[in-house]
Amino acid sequence: MSVELALCLDRDLQRHNTLGLPCVAERFIDAESPARLAAAVAMAQQAGWPLTVLGGGSNLILPRRLSGLVVRPTFADWDYRRDAEGGIALRVEAGMNWHALVMASVDRGWWGIENLALIPGHCGAAPIQNIGAYGVELADVLESVELLHLDSGRYETLTGAACRFGYRDSIFKGALAGRVVITALNLMLSETPHPRLGYGDLATRVTDAPSPRDVAEAVVAIRREKLPDPAQLANAGSFFKNPLVSAEQAQHLLVDCPDMPHFAQPDGRVKLAAGWLIDRCGLKGVRRGAFGVHDRQALVLVHHGGGDAEGLLAFAAEIAAAVEERFGVALSREPRLAG
């Protein structure tokens, strides 16, 4: 049975990326079902078009023009089953808004993803960089990922362990980059209370026996205090990853900067706060034409309008160079460059 696709030419994507970068897709399809997604992938393969998958556009840097075909999965159904021990097996399709899923889960009293409230984007993009916040990562609750192979049209379910999750990293940024489309996530949540409040001042924002909604609302309040709303000031959230350095390098830096935030990791390395490093370089609030460093959170680069991907990358390179010159620490970006 054939699937009809509505192909749009020269589609403006500026509204579809939270950085508000100007971009036109040569060809564009909204895939309202997994079948339409598979048909769009097959169309691109047969025509020899480069394929770009666009979700919420919250962790993506778009060039002025994307050749080939851009497809946006919009299917967003979800369902769940409860086991005898209070576990909640939750399946959600790729087009579901992540924050909407978090709030739907906490409304039902489920624990597991409440610390990940207000992270922008769609569920299909969440495993790519192993989204995380306030001491919790997606990898903590992800059972498996359902995906479509672009070359063969074959569907596969990949276990959480096979996703090779790391800090803002996964197999989808490595061996499977550009080779698969994520179609659904399978998460394991719980009705048994287990609040994780050890990060920052989260514990001071809630009662002694908080509900999942209490924790989620506290996270939302903290994020809104520190981070700009993309609807008001274009941004992609944290632009740089918090760098990991050797224990020896961290100790050397602490001699000159004893107040430097640092967090020991299980593998012996030390995680540093990229925002603190940028701030110490005197760059918080700095603006270069269309782009700037946010005045409350130096980890966030903002777009004031009129810029493009080339200008953003040049500005980011300037910031990274300043940090490396002063601290000897290399910064790497979180948002992916499309095309």
334 is catalytic: yes
Closest CA to 102 of 112, 89, 87, 94: 112
At 277, give phi and psi (nearest 5°): -60, -45
33 is catalytic: no
Element (H, E) at 293: strand 291-293
> DSSP 3-state assignment of 338?
coil
Residue from 196, 205, 334, 336 carrying the catalytic annotation: 334
CB neighbours of 241 closer than 8 A, spacing ≥ 6? 167, 168, 274, 331, 332, 333, 334
Element (H, E) at 101: helix 98-107
The secondary structure of residue 279, as a DSSP letter, is H
With beta carbons less than 8 A apart as the criterion, state whether 31 and 40 touch: yes
Give me the count of residues in the chain.
339
Distance CA 116, CA 24 (A): 31
Distance CA 176, CA 170 (A): 9
Element (H, E) at 155: strand 155-159
Residue from 27, 146, 238, 280 carrying the catalytic annotation: 238
Residue from 11, 168, 280, 333 carrying the catalytic annotation: 168
Distance CA 283, CA 277 (A): 9
Kindly list the strands in the beta sheet with 65-73, ordered across the sheet, starting from the edge strand earlier in the chain.
Answer: 8-12, 24-31, 65-73, 51-53
Distance CA 137, CA 195 (A): 14
Residue for token pair 């506290």? 218
Closest CA to 38 of 165, 223, 218, 183: 183
Any idea which residues carry the catalytic annotation? 168, 238, 334
